Structure 1
Amino acid sequence: MKKFSKRDFTLGFMEGIIGVCDSIEGAQDIYYGSMGDRDAWRYYFIQKRERSNEVDADILMNSKVWEASGHVSGFSDPLVDCKECKTRHRADNLIDDFAPEANADAMTQEEMNAYIKEHKVICPVCGKSNFTEIRQFNLMFGTKRGVTEESGAMIYLRPENAQGEYVNFLNVQRTMRAKLPFSIGQIGKAFRNEITPGNFTFRTIEFEQMEYQTFCKKGTDSETYEYFKEYGMEFFQYLGLPKEKLRFHDHEKLAHYAKEACDIEYAFPLGWGEINGTHNRTDFDLTRHQEFSKKSMDYLEEETGEKFVPYVIESTYGLDRIILALLFENLHEEMVGESDKRIVLNIAPKLAPIKVNVLPLIKKKHSEMAKQVYHQLMPYMMVNYDETGSIGKRYRRGDAIGIPFAVTIDDNTLENGTITIRDRDSMEQEVIPMEGVVPYLLTKLK
């Protein structure tokens, strides 16, 4: 079995990728075994966990939120310009690409400047080593809110979802009468003014995060942090990513708010890349929002009467990067017999955005009955109806975007009420009574 190269992946299969990504949100099925990536995370982190709540916070929030969080003053990338070809690069990426063992993540700005000069790090575009000094570039998108631009107040598109969960801490705690430890999760878009986006959907200016914040008492924070590191690894294996292609990467240089921090990385064909981050953020965030809002973030522990600001354990997941990892892991080209080949996305049926392809063998003869089957299945799962082209080409189209099963309506359906169900992975076919198609597929998907 052949796995695609970076070039093949880029040029040959974007139609299938777009079909998968655009359809993920539609996987609103009646049981957890039939969901897309968003709902898989929602099931694993919200539905099956005690004291777990989901919110949908604002994308545009008061600028004071971002002052309190430190984003206005300190959310930036270290950038350098090549004096020869005038291209712009992140200094830490330049160093890591030039010498991965150097570990730019652990360097200060001064150390990165010195390393680039001493080791004559080269520009990936022109091959020369002639850079400006490092400058910090703020990553937030800003806009104005107001009647006119002159009178408008500066606001920002959120660069992360987490702050929306922190400012809603009291709302959730009081309305849900939540006791520590409890969690707030959120799925939503974030926006960053990335200077060097690239590697397909790995780094983009608009992306989707699945954030999860657990509020706990100081003294239990390190134990909770270790728990969510392992829980994240379990989640990725639940999605079907192999353990041997996943690793923990503990941060050597911690952010000012962090006590402990770790990423889970996946072995992309492009190299190891972060798909999760788990951080012990201490009480920094709630304390800062308390300071700027003048609103107490204290939690009252009823058993002891003690009041305190909780610690926060953050576990965040990049939806776009996870989908990219699943595509790299499961999108293949394989031989069928001695001379034919097919493209197939072997994604787990529970993650497939479309579960079933309904196919009339001959459009003029079988489409009426096929549409009856199509409408019979629609209340239970996401279904696609396809009557264009030969049956073989329609099978191949469904395989390429990961549809696990195909239901074919033919002369036997008209004569004796049976249909043919084809399995995407094995390509084996089974004939069953038409009235049994719903329970059959629900059992297979589960």
Structure 2
Amino acid sequence: MATNEDNLKQIISHSKEYGFVFQSSDIYDGLSAVYDYGQLGSELKNNIKSYWWKAMVQMHENIVGIDAAIFMHPETWKASGHVDAFNDPLIDNKDSKKRYRADVLIEEHVEKIRLKIQKDVDKGINKFGDAFDKEQFLATNPNVLRNQAKIDDINDKFKNAMNNDDLAAVKSLIEELGIACPISGSKEWTDVKQFNLMFSTEIGSVADSANKIYLRPETAQGIFVNYLNVQKTGRMKIPFGIAQIGKAFRNEIVARQFIFRMREFEQMEMQFFVRPGEEMKWYEYWKEQRIKWHKSLGMTDDYYRFHDHIKLAHYANAACDIEFNFPMGFKELEGIHSRTDFDLKQHEKHSGKKLQYFDPELNESYVPYVVETSIGLDRMFLATLSYAYCEEKLEDGSERVVLKLPAVLAPVKLAVMPLTKKDGLPEKAREILDSLKFDYYCQYDEKDSMGKRYRRQDAIGTPYCVTVDHQTLEDNTVTIRDRDTMKQERIAISELEKLLKAKFDLKQFLN
């Protein structure tokens, strides 16, 4: 049975073999924690972006989108708190010389205890089936209660240490828990230190401190400094949102686990501006909306969970993550944060410009509060790929690797294949492809046996394959094959476009 680590290795290998993801600068032995998206990866990535954008902007009358610049005035990052407070607590192992995020070491230790609880729950389900009362079991089982108490105690200690900026207490907690270096097994740790994650560079022809600017570590600030421009030019009324998809950059010292944590990554964010005092109502609303969006793609409920933040960021009064069960366990996929009015008031203070909204219904001006939804596009890509990757043993004893991607996200929607390379079949196949390529990304494939061609399309997640054979020339019908069921049916070419439109219609996903 494959381990989670093996599963991640398989996904990495598959990504490279089929043109989804390559190591950046591969011919120069690569650049750590930087990746390039290949021909199919870029299609999948664009489809995820489009699906998010349509759900967030197109489906909401009161949400619009912008595209802010990566470079911003350096005062932006002083106002936002990133210059002084955008840090990770890092710790080095003295024997392996490897560096780790202290918070991640503690989170992974807690997750091991959670898995013990889940193991007990699984045993109960196997033993009692439908009669098993999970809630009662979690509330009364001595092992579960003991392990949950351990988790609560660790979280309380870590929260207190971080809230008090007590890095010595964080180190003490790591030592108390007996956390060892995953590489060497050593428990000899250095002190915990804070490390600022922003990349800096110079603008202009002279490199000096006066020209120092930063690569943005998040896309949100581009929305905040433009919020009044958008509100006035778009005649937006509160509550309203501004969405953006864009690159962000963080000098991650501990960057690993493939594209999960990178130094150059992409975010899909939406900042929702609300009346002060109504932020918690909208916070709960967006929690519900965002998990609904994730589940619309057909990934099962047990792959998701909400996780409330132990330590709130300096700008937040409520925050949680939607976590996904990646090959390396449950990890953050999307954050929902109630950011209060911190950002806008800070930009007011540092810029000297008023950023107030006049509310005609209340007949008063105020600085809006903000509820944020922020999803890592690269993490969403990895979640989609890892859920879809499947190795199947078929009835005839053969095996296949298939990517069961949601049809709406699949890079290639349809492969058109002539049975042979002669007798006018290629010409007919290309005629069909030419009629469909305006609406769908299609591939033409005539090399190798039909079995090999099907396996190739299965491996890249193509939902449907159309085969053109000699009967096609007689009655204008083709065989269409479903990726997931492998069932084939004969349909008229004239019905093909109607069938595909029904299969890929956004209404069935976003309703």
Q: TM-score range by the shorter chain?
A: over 0.9
- Aligned-partner residue type, residue 17 of structure 2: E
Separation in structure 2 between the aligned mates of residue 236 and residue 429 of structure 1, nearest angstrom: 30
Residues 158 and 190, structure 1, Cα contact 8 Å, conserved in 2: yes
- The CA deviation at 1:118 is 3.7
Question: CA 1:131–1:430 in 2, change beyond 3 Å: closer, same or farther?
Answer: same
Residues 98 and 122, structure 1, Cα contact 8 Å, conserved in 2: no
- Aligned-partner residue type, residue 354 of structure 1: V
Q: How many residues are treated as equivalent by the alignment? A: 437
Instruction: Identify the residue that residue 302 of structure 1 maps to in structure 2.
Output: 360
Separation in structure 1 between the aligned mates of residue 67 and residue 89 of structure 2, nearest angstrom: 32
- The CA deviation at 1:120 is 4.2
Q: 1:227 aligns with which of 277, 285, 306?
A: 285
Instruction: Identify the residue that residue 290 of structure 1 maps to in structure 2.
Output: 348
Structure 2 residue 480 is matched with structure 1 residue 425: no
Instruction: Identify the residue that residue 357 of structure 1 maps to in structure 2.
Output: 415
Separation in structure 1 between the aligned mates of residue 244 and residue 17 of structure 2, nearest angstrom: 29
Between the aligned residues of both structures, percent identity stands at 44
Instruction: Identify the residue that residue 337 of structure 2 maps to in structure 1.
Output: 279
TM-score after normalising by structure 1: 0.93
Question: CA 1:211–1:12 in 2, change beyond 3 Å: closer, same or farther?
Answer: closer
Instruction: Identify the residue that residue 217 of structure 1 maps to in structure 2.
Output: 275
Question: CA 1:246–1:105 in 2, change beyond 3 Å: closer, same or farther?
Answer: farther
As a proportion of its length, which structure holds more helix?
2
Residues 45 and 377, structure 2, Cα contact 8 Å, conserved in 1: no
- The CA deviation at 1:204 is 1.1
SS in 2 for 1:239: coil
- The CA deviation at 1:242 is 1.5
1:385-421 CA-partner distances (Å, limit 9, x unpaired): 2222222111111111111111111222223322221
Separation in structure 2 between the aligned mates of residue 236 and residue 443 of structure 1, nearest angstrom: 21
Instruction: Identify the residue that residue 439 of structure 1 maps to in structure 2.
Output: 498
- The CA deviation at 1:250 is 0.9
Instruction: Identify the residue that residue 445 of structure 2 maps to in structure 1.
Output: 386
Instruction: Identify the residue that residue 142 of structure 1 maps to in structure 2.
Output: 200
Separation in structure 2 between the aligned mates of residue 435 and residue 232 of structure 1, nearest angstrom: 38
Instruction: Identify the residue that residue 372 of structure 1 maps to in structure 2.
Output: 431
1:121-167 CA-partner distances (Å, limit 9, x unpaired): 32222121222211111111111101132476111111111111101
Q: 1:202 aligns with which of 239, 256, 260?
A: 260
Separation in structure 1 between the aligned mates of residue 260 and residue 200 of structure 2, nearest angstrom: 23
1:301-345 CA-partner distances (Å, limit 9, x unpaired): 112320110000001111111221122222111122232111111
Residues 85 and 125, structure 1, Cα contact 8 Å, conserved in 2: yes
Question: CA 1:74–1:151 in 2, change beyond 3 Å: closer, same or farther?
Answer: closer
Give 1:14-413 correspondences, 5 Å limit. 14-16=16-18, 17-18=20-21, 20-25=40-45, 36-100=47-111, 101=151, 102-103=154-155, 106=159, 107-108=161-162, 109-150=167-208, 153-365=211-423, 366-413=425-472
1:262-307 CA-partner distances (Å, limit 9, x unpaired): 1111122311101111111110000111111111101001123201
Ranges in structure 2 where 5+ consecutive residues have no aligned partner: 22-38, 112-150, 506-511
- Higher RCO, 1 or 2 (CA under 8 Å, sep at least 6)? 1
Separation in structure 2 between the aligned mates of residue 12 and residue 306 of structure 1, nearest angstrom: 58
Residues 11 and 385, structure 2, Cα contact 8 Å, conserved in 1: no
TM-score after normalising by structure 2: 0.81
- The CA deviation at 1:12 is 4.4
Segments of 4+ moved more than 6 angstroms: 1-4
- The CA deviation at 1:252 is 2.4
**Which has the higher mean CA deviation after the structures are superposed, 40-49 or 413-422?**
413-422
Instruction: Identify the residue that residue 9 of structure 2 maps to in structure 1.
Output: 7
- Aligned-partner residue type, residue 180 of structure 1: I
- The CA deviation at 1:423 is 1.0
1:60-103 CA-partner distances (Å, limit 9, x unpaired): 11111111111111111111222222221111122333454333
Separation in structure 2 between the aligned mates of residue 410 and residue 138 of structure 1, nearest angstrom: 62
SS in 2 for 1:77: strand
Separation in structure 2 between the aligned mates of residue 117 and residue 353 of structure 1, nearest angstrom: 47
